[in-house]
A and B are shown apart, each in its own frame.
Chain A
Amino acid sequence: EPEVTQTPSHQVTQMGQEVILRCVPISNHLYFYWYRQILGQKVEFLVSFYNNEISEKSEIFDDQFSVERPDGSNFTLKIRSTKLEDSAMYFCASTATVNSYEQYFGPGTRLTVT
Chain B
Amino acid sequence: AQSVSQHNHHVILSEAASLELGCNYSYGGTVNLFWYVQYPGQHLQLLLKYFSGDPLVKGIKGFEAEFIKSKFSFNLRKPSVQWSDTAEYFCAVNNAGNNRKLIWGLGTSLGVNP
CB neighbours (8 Å) of B49 from chain A are 101-102
The bracket for how many chain A residues form the interface is 20 to 34
Provide the A22-52 mask, 1 if CB < 8 A to any CB of B, else 0: 0000000001010100000111110010000
The listed residue (B36, B44, B96, B99) touching A56 by CB distance below 8 A is B99
B100 touches A101 (CB 8 A): yes
CB neighbours (8 Å) of A95 from chain B are 100
The listed residue (B43, B51, B107) touching A105 by CB distance below 8 A is B43
Number of chain B residues close to chain A: CB under 8 A: 24
Residue of B nearest to A104 (CB): B46
Q: A101-B94, A102-B46, A108-B43 are in contact. Are A43 and B100 (CB under 8 A)?
A: no
Residue of B nearest to A6 (CB): B43
A15 to B30, CA, bound (A): 42
Which B64-114 residues have C-beta < 8 A from chain A? Answer: 90, 92, 94, 96, 99-107
A99 to B4, CA, bound (A): 23
CB neighbours (8 Å) of B4 from chain A are 42
CB neighbours (8 Å) of B100 from chain A are 31, 33, 48, 55-56, 95, 101, 103
B104 touches A44 (CB 8 A): yes
CB neighbours (8 Å) of B44 from chain A are 91, 105
CB neighbours (8 Å) of B46 from chain A are 102-104
Q: A101-B32, A101-B51, A102-B49 are in contact. Are A107 and B102 (CB under 8 A)?
A: no
17 more A-B contacts (CB under 8 A) besides A42-B104, A43-B104, A91-B43? A31-B100, A41-B106, A42-B4, A43-B90, A43-B92, A43-B107, A44-B104, A45-B101, A45-B103, A56-B100, A95-B100, A101-B51, A101-B96, A103-B46, A104-B46, A105-B43, A108-B43
Q: Could you list which residues of chain A lie within 8 angstroms of chain B, going by C-beta atoms?
A: 3-4, 31, 33, 35, 41-45, 48, 55-56, 58, 91, 95, 101-108
